[in-house]
Chain A
Amino acid sequence: MKKKTTRKKGNSFLYTGAVLSGLMLFLILLGCFWTPYSPTAMDAAAKFQAPSWAHLLGTDNFGRDIFSRVLQGADASFLIALCVVGISCTLGVLIGGLCGYYGGLADLALTRLCDSITAFPAILLALVIVSLTGRGKYNVIFALSILFIPSFARVVRSEFARCRELNYVKSARLMGVSDGRILFRHILPNTFPVLLPAVTIGFNNAILSEASMSFLGIGVQPTEASLGLMLSDSQTYLQSAPWYALCTGGAVVLLILGFSLLSEGLQRRNGG
């Protein structure tokens, strides 16, 4: 499992990604405890101020500090993405693992179900689910979690199906090891090299989907900050206050870039 990289030069994707995501994670953690201003405090005298030392990223149409709102928004996006990936990954691994290991009719049915979910554009399905359950943060988490299950289930299923035929699994079975133990102690760790990039990509997709849904007005509701919601608000002021859209968009880009590079780096390290 611990195969060394065959490349001579270092894995620059992995390092850049790790540094960038580390930086973003630090800012997100910082946003949980401290922001320079209250993210919701309004100030009529400080509307549409360009970036300055007082307001690092400027202020928005209500005179709210954009840096504080970006911190809080990234925070909200990150937490939502974390929940979504956590839920969908757990369920995806369970479903994919059982399907891949046991096969049979249930496998066929669940695989087809996953295929049919993937056949719809994710945002469209999310819109349908949210229109049934109502708007808001928790409904977005619910909708996205369901949508992201197939991507994990698929990856994990093929790995389990492959490992099932390998000698170490066969010998474990012959020694009378229980199925549960084989599944989770023997095979699962061997799927990590494949699972880890899937998790980082899933994380990216979750952040983007949350931003898209908030952008459309069905995710996080106003007064709370969210990167998608801020982008949606900022488009009105693209000409008069370009820093609003640029700084918010920049935050999304950096957040995604870090995890993208990280996942690309992980894939390369595993010889992908």
Chain B
Amino acid sequence: MKYRILAVFLAAAVLMCSLCGCGGATSETPAPSDEIAPSSPAAPVNEITVGIAQDLDDSLDPYQMTAAGTREVMFNVFEGLVKPDSDGNFVCAVASDYSISDDGLTYTFPLREGVVFHNGAACTADDVLYSFETCAATSVTSALVEALSAAQVTAEGNTVTVALDAPNPDFLSYVASVYIVPKDYAEQATQPVGTGPFKYVSRSVQENVILEKNGDYYGTPASLDRVTYRIFEDNNALFTALNGGALDLVTHLTIDQVNNLTNGYTVLEGTMNLVQAMYLNNAVKPFDDQRVRQALCYAVDVPAMMELTAAGHGVRVGSSMYPAFAKYFDASLADAYPHDVEKAKALLAEAGYAGGFSFTIIAPSNYTPHVDTATVLAEQLKEVGVTAEVQLVDWNTWVSDVYGNRNFEATVCGFDASSLTASAMLARWVSDNGKNMINYNDPDYDAAYAAAQDPSLSEAEQTEQYMRCLEILSETAANVYTQDLADFVAINPALEGFTFYPLYVIDMACLHFAG
């Protein structure tokens, strides 16, 4: 017993030495470069293994899926009448064409000939009607249910017509979310059947999900014969498998993981498709004063923050819109508030806070990028005499307390779009919107947003109104906008064709082996 303490420290010393050993072995490795030649020849079989970070345990039923990770996989299995492409436009899928009446009330979809479900049955207008009814009745996405409740779907021969009670400029994006499934097929939750370029084969709980090429696909068939998604709920295990070459493709990597990658895989950089900002509660003092919010925007140095947290990767944003929405994204808004300490101090003095003030930034502890951003911003704000304390909360607390009860001063987080529409990003800042977490209240903004909903507007005019909304958010400094975070993909160099989508999906149909 006397030497118990010594023994413990001896054990600690041995552990430290072994840690030194593994650290020393890898710390000298150069950073991987995109030009490194493939370390292994193309796989002889035309199949790939993809590493994913979570099991698909919510549901495989197209209307019951909730997790973004599940949607990411099942995007390859299901299709709607139309589907989004990588530019954020809608292209025809089960429908061969679509037309919208001039008053915006009637959508007409002639169905494509020869569309066959994965179970061999032909897709008919009855299946489409059934899909719309089932989706409206059972979908877990409330915005979708709401949009469908104002629509009457009828079929005549091979043409499906949707009549709306009131014009809805975003209706097409909801149509894309109504996945077409065969009528009277009850096994969707365990053996899903759709019309996509891949068909579902099997799923082993916490192990893998297997998809196979749909040979009867009406469009260009997929090049890969088989895609196996391996599930790694532990981030380190996922990285080890990737670095060891057991996986061909892993998405959503961090800059630190990329820097530690040594197997010569190609690294592609995209963005996460969200708007990270220090969201300010516009209803609490001192953030109810526009000058204070503007002062904070001038006080922070976003490029320096990105350099510190992600070695400069990521794309700066200046309003509630991320760059993948090319139609609405205005890169110049990111420069609206250049780093200017003197101007920030002057604005603070004008607002009556010459001596600075203190506030708390809440950050969800499970999202390291947000915590890092909050830490750096808090340090930068010291320069203008503002003391920011960072407080970490777990995700559930954040959702209930910050998002639900709006009980916060400032929080660093990211907002993404649930569908490919500008309103998915902008509706929440309308003063009476239930999701207006920051209590933003600007009559000009409300007016511009309402104007954009006018069905008589042409697409260009509507875009103009949405752009105006974005400018108002920037002018009034609704939040301290920072960036769309960098999203890294590591891919077997033999694989080509990886395409980033403005949505949280990976399109397996565009991947193919070189040569």
Contact = CB atoms under 8 A, between A and B. Distances in A.
A44 B307 contact: yes
Nearest to B392: A217
Interface stretch (A103-111, A112-120, A149-157, A243-251): A243-251
Contact of A246 (B16, B260, B311, B382): B16
A241 B24 CA distance: 9
A116 B435 CA distance: 46
A62 interface: yes
Contacts of B376: 42, 62
A40 B379 contact: yes
Contact of B9 (A40, A62, A135, A257): A257
B308 A240 contact: no
Contacts, number: 78
Contacts of A40: 379, 382
Interface in A134-171: 135-136
A246 B12 CA distance: 11
A237 B27 CA distance: 10
A6 interface: no
B371 interface: yes
A61 B369 CA distance: 12
Given A135-B392, A222-B392, A223-B378, A44 B308 contact: yes
B19 A245 contact: yes
Interface string A209-224: 0000000010001110
Contact of B375 (A223, A237, A250, A261): A223
Main secondary structure of the interface of A (DSSP, over half): loop
Contact of A236 (B22, B256, B379, B391): B256
A242 B260 contact: no
Contacts of A236: 256, 368
Interface string A226-242: 00000000001111111
A186 interface: no
Given A62-B376, A239-B26, A257-B9, A246 B304 contact: no
Contact of B5 (A42, A136, A250, A264): A264
Contacts of B9: 253, 257
B24 to A, nearest CB: 7
A135 B24 CA distance: 36
A217 B365 contact: yes
A260 interface: yes
Interface in A41-60: 41-42, 44, 47
B390 interface: yes
Interface in B374-396: 374-376, 378-379, 382, 388-393
A253 B12 contact: yes
A62 B376 CA distance: 8
B138 interface: no
Interface in B1-34: 2, 5, 9, 12, 16, 19-20, 22-24, 26-27
A217 B308 CA distance: 21
Given A62-B376, A222-B375, A238 B389 contact: no
B379 A42 contact: yes
A193 interface: no
Given A241-B27, A261-B5, A221 B260 contact: no
A239 B379 contact: no
Nearest to A243: B23
A260 B5 contact: yes
Interface of B: 2, 5, 9, 12, 16, 19-20, 22-24, 26-27, 256, 259-260, 304, 307-309, 311, 365, 368, 371-372, 374-376, 378-379, 382, 388-393
21 contacts: A40-B379, A40-B382, A44-B308, A47-B311, A61-B256, A61-B372, A62-B375, A135-B392, A135-B393, A217-B365, A221-B389, A221-B392, A222-B390, A223-B390, A236-B368, A238-B22, A239-B260, A242-B20, A246-B16, A261-B5, A264-B5
